[in-house]
Amino acid sequence: MKKILLSSSTLLLAVVCLTACQDKKEVRLEDNFYQAVNQKWQKENPLKDNQDAISSFDVLQEEIDQQLQKDLDDFSSGKKDVPFQAMQPAVDFYKLAMNFEEREDLSIAIIKPYLDEIENLDSFQDYQLVEKDRLLQKKAMPYNLASGAFSHQRVLYLEAPNLILRTTSNYEDEKSKKEHLETFRKNSSSLLKKLGYSDKKIQSIIEDTIAFDELLLPYMQHKSGKLIGTGNQNTHLIQLMKSITGDVKDDIAVSEDVYFSNTDKIINEQNFPIMKSWLLVQQVLQLSELVDTDTYDRANQVELELRGLKENDSPEKNALLYTYSLFPEVLSSYYGQTYFKEEDKQQVIEMTTAIRGTFKERLKTLDWLTEPTREKAIEKVDKMTLHIAYPDAMDPIADTFTVDKNSNLVDAYLDLKSQRLAYDLGHLGQQEQHLWIAPSFNVNAFYSPTENAIYLPASILQAPFYDSQQSKAENYGGIGTTIAHEMIHAFDNQGAMYDSEGKSNFWWTLEDRKTFLDRMLAVEKQWSNLSYADQKVDGQLTLGENIADAGGLAFALETYGKPDKAFFQAFARVHRSNARKEYTKYLLTYDPHSPDELRTNIPLQNLDAFYEVYDIKEGDGMYLPPQERVNVW
């Protein structure tokens, strides 16, 4: 492949416009397409005090949330009959969550028994005796045992604990670190005071908690892995998992590979006194959203500061979100059956089939693929499965949940979490085709490499992504680019390592793999030369999404058949958003997606057809010389 050289001066011109054009009263399409298309929407959708960002996804999600909240209110009050038996526990829990009078009366005292359990641990040996039970009962621990769906199977994974300041980057600036830790001290102290602790004891607990947090910090490196990984000598944790699963499961994923390879260096007899204090504070924070408003507000003050927000979500919204988290299967079936139009499914299938055909034709003609790789790639596209709207059958776990109506919200919540974990433990490794990786009411779309499958939940099959009343150009610019984006994930830097059956398998020839890497490197370099919100873009972190954004745009346009202004504007609309600077900086550090403005404009700058439609010329902010335009597919 011919090496592509990037001109820093041209990219600088593009970035200057991307950031500076936001301050202009009117932005030219030729200078900043994203801003020109979306500036009216951005002005009409300012951020609320409890929002760090708002996007097309968020607006649509809010509409869905309001509808489901109204339905749950009607079911709880008896205004409407609960539609099917499996939904009754969800309604019962929601009713408990919405009983704010009782929650205020019980206040923070309701969590005191959970703290007494920790206070009764007099030694590290005492802790080890209850370690397994606390994991299964979903109580505060230095690691959390969770379960979920992956590749149509129930799987286990271990989650590392939250740091006090959430991410390691928040510890880098000493001044802001000190300020945020002082907020933590102040609000945690007030919570412990309400629980009856003396001032002297509170000071000791808080300082111990911060000391244990410092022990955790070096091991939080945002790198996932497997429990039984290279160099992991943590035999205690491995044996603990064996006692829970009945065998050592080498597929137990861990959220922090370095941490779970070294927990024995942190969780031990020497550190137990400060870990005990940390457990007390963590238990308070874990349950704070389930009690009274004052407790919730104090427990979340650090989070608000870190995100640049002025207020928390409303108690009503939290009640809904907790119900979502505990009953995704039944609510997914209800939402899909109630609000999804079946005729829309056929139109989306037709679009997907057409885009699949475009992809196959592109693969047939790419001059940098040799025949062995080409055949395997086409086979992968052919075997790619599509999951639309919601599962055909509801997950049987939905029929197993029970809620004690006479219970309080805290006990009910932990009990339901334990019920889910117990069920999943009893069904590990079984193939269950009804399992989805996301509920139908969650506005998103996914590609699953281990299934070689695309998920398009019912929630995203609405305007601005898709609408039967929109033009064909708008639908291809919206949901069409989304479908193609997910298909491209099968051939990005990570998805390309899985074959047509969803198995990790090197199916490339060495020659094609080298060319593929060169093309990806050109994309990575282009993005790494960009800046946004006074911060560099991480071209390596965002590589997969950048490949999918560019390829999705190109394939959807080719399938639609002709360059069209309505198509390009629809593409820009689905990415419209407003975000606080603090949140944008956080995303630039940890999110594999590039900022919405860049993930709209940069793919357009790399697409020749865009220049034809809008007559983009040298000197325009959206212009890149032909030799600097890069793509993988």
Tell me if 485 sits within 8 A of 568, measured CB to CB. Answer: no
Provide the token pair at 445.
Answer: 């779309």
What is the number of residues in the chain?
Answer: 633
Q: Are residues 244 and 351 in the same domain?
A: no
State the Cα–Cα distance between residues 512 and 521, nearest whole angstrom: 14
Helices (H), 387-459: 409-425
In a domain, 53, yes or no: no
Domain end among 257, 290, 312:
312
Q: Are residues 348 and 298 in the same domain?
A: no
Rg of the chain over Cα atoms, rounded to whole angstroms, equals 26
The full 3-state SS of 571-602, as one line of letters, equals HHHHCCEEECHHHHHHHHHHCCCCCHHHHHHH
In a domain, 150, yes or no: yes
State the Cα–Cα distance between residues 622 and 633, nearest whole angstrom: 21
Angle at 605 between CA 602 and CA 607, to 5 degrees: 115
Q: Are residues 380 and 493 in the same domain?
A: yes
The whole domain housing 375 covers 8-45+342-388+464-628
Helices 88-97, 315-326: crossing angle, 10 deg rounding: 150
State the Cα–Cα distance between residues 244 and 378, nearest whole angstrom: 42
Average of per-residue pLDDT values in the chain: 92
Residue 69 in this model has a pLDDT that exceeds 70: yes
In a domain, 533, yes or no: yes
Query: Which DSSP state fits 163?
Result: B
Residue type, 256: E
Name the range with the highest mean pLDDT among 5-14, 154-163, 429-438, 618-627: 618-627
State the Cα–Cα distance between residues 445 and 483, nearest whole angstrom: 8
pLDDT band, very low/low/confident/very high, at 250 (cuts 50, 70, 90): low
Give 331-372 pLDDT, tens digit per residue: 999 999 999 988 898 999 999 999 999 999 999 999 999 999
Residue recorded with tokens 């209800």: 334
Laid out side by side, the sheet with 453-457 consists of 385-389, 453-457, 446-448
Query: Which DSSP state fits 149?
Result: E
Residue 230 in this model has a pLDDT that exceeds 80: no
Residue type, 624: L
Q: Are residues 255 and 366 in the same domain?
A: no
CB burial of 410-448 (b: ≥16 within 10 Å; e: otherwise) equals bbbbbbbbebbbebbbeebeeeeeebbbbbbbbbebbbb
Angle at 524 between CA 523 and CA 528, to 5 degrees: 120
Q: Residue 535: enclosing H or E segment and its boundaries?
A: strand 535-536
pLDDT band, very low/low/confident/very high, at 15 (cuts 50, 70, 90): very low
Neighbours of 226 (CB within 10 A): 17
Give 181-195 pLDDT, tens digit per residue: 999 999 999 999 999
Domain end among 268, 292, 312:
312
pLDDT band, very low/low/confident/very high, at 299 (cuts 50, 70, 90): very high
CATH code, domain with 296: 1.10.1380.10
In sequence order, the 6+-apart residues with CB closer than 8 A to the CB of 8 are 529
In a domain, 401, yes or no: no
Tell me if 588 sits within 8 A of 539, measured CB to CB. Answer: no
Q: Are residues 497 and 608 in the same domain?
A: yes
Q: Are residues 542 and 591 in the same domain?
A: yes
CATH code, domain with 577: 3.40.390.10
Q: Is 0.85 topped by the overall pTM? A: yes
State the Cα–Cα distance between residues 227 and 250, nearest whole angstrom: 7
Q: Are residues 25 and 135 in the same domain?
A: no
Residue 79 in this model has a pLDDT that exceeds 50: yes
Mean pLDDT (whole number) for 398-425: 96
Strand partners, 428: 154
Nearest to 543 by CA among 477, 462, 489, 596: 489
The rounded Cα 354 to chain-centroid distance in angstroms is 29
In a domain, 198, yes or no: yes
Q: Are residues 269 and 141 in the same domain?
A: yes
State the Cα–Cα distance between residues 147 and 348, nearest whole angstrom: 31
In a domain, 447, yes or no: no
pLDDT at 246: 81
Mean pLDDT (whole number) for 396-423: 96
Q: Are residues 346 and 306 in the same domain?
A: no
Residue 5 in this model has a pLDDT that exceeds 70: no
pLDDT at 477: 98
Q: Are residues 514 and 581 in the same domain?
A: yes
Domains: count for the chain: 2
In a domain, 537, yes or no: yes
Helices (H), 366-447: 371-383, 409-425
In a domain, 85, yes or no: no
pLDDT band, very low/low/confident/very high, at 249 (cuts 50, 70, 90): low
State the Cα–Cα distance between residues 164 and 160, nearest whole angstrom: 13
Q: 301 or 13: whose pLDDT is higher?
A: 301
Query: Which DSSP state fits 288?
Result: G
Give 422-468 pLDDT, tens digit per residue: 999 999 888 887 788 889 999 999 999 989 999 999 999 999 999 99
Query: Which DSSP state fits 476?
Result: I
Domain end among 312, 334, 364:
312
The rounded Cα 21 to chain-centroid distance in angstroms is 30
Strands 385-389 and 453-457 come out as parallel
Q: Are residues 127 and 266 in the same domain?
A: yes
Nearest to 29 by CA among 598, 572, 477: 572
Residue type, 522: A
Q: Report the percent of the chain where pLDDT is more than 90.
A: 80
Q: Are residues 474 and 599 in the same domain?
A: yes
pLDDT band, very low/low/confident/very high, at 14 (cuts 50, 70, 90): very low
Burial of residue 369, with CB atoms counted within 10 A of its CB: 0-12 exposed, 13-18 middle, 19 or more buried: buried
Residue 244 in this model has a pLDDT that exceeds 50: yes
pLDDT band, very low/low/confident/very high, at 1 (cuts 50, 70, 90): very low
Q: For the chain, how far is it from start to end, CA to CA, in angstroms?
A: 13
| DSSP code per residue over 477-507 | IIIIHHHHHHHHGGGSTTGGGB-TTS-B---
Q: Residue 321: enclosing H or E segment and its boundaries?
A: helix 315-326
